[in-house]
């Protein structure tokens, strides 16, 4: 057995796990967007402003699911699969950081939009 073949199965499994993780991020982000305005259906300035960027990032995360599945099952070399997987994981982490930290910071802290929290 060659050395590159010994890494094929673990890399494929890692790509599938990353695809499932990206799908989990999609479902959590979709639930966050779906529950905007809950419980009183009042949309704040932040909710209105952050709607489009959140939708765009959800579709980017869907693209990551497809990218990880492509990396897992495409007939490519082990080195290409490893480099592609590493690049995709780093990019997915950056997208998740933008979605969960960057958007709230920009719209709430930097622009000072009302997010409905307070007394």
Structural Rg of the chain based on CA atoms:
18
Q: What pLDDT score does 38 carry? A: 76
Q: Where are the domains of the chain?
A: 3-110
The parts of the chain modelled with pLDDT lower than 50 are none
Q: What pLDDT score does 61 carry? A: 96
Tokens of 119: 């007394």
Give the predicted TM-score (pTM) of the model. 0.85
How many other CB atoms are there within 10 angstroms of residue 43's CB atom?
12
Secondary structure of 40-71 as H, E, C letters: CCCCCHHHHHHHHHHHHHHHHHHHHHHHHHHH
């Amino acid at each position: 057995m060659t050395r590159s073949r010994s890494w094929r199965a673990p890399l494929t499994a890692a790509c599938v796990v990353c695809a499932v993780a990206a799908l989990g991020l999609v479902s959590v982000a979709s639930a966050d967007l779906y529950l905007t305005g809950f419980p009183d259906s009042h949309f704040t300035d932040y909710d209105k402003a952050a709607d489009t960027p959140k939708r765009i990032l959800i579709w980017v995360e869907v693209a990551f699911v497809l990218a990880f599945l492509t990396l897992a099952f495409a007939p490519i070399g082990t080195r290409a699969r490893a480099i592609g997987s590493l690049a995709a994981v780093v990019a997915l982490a950056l997208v998740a950081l933008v979605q969960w930290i960057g958007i709230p910071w920009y719209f709430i802290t930097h622009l000072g939009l009302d997010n409905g929290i307070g007394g």
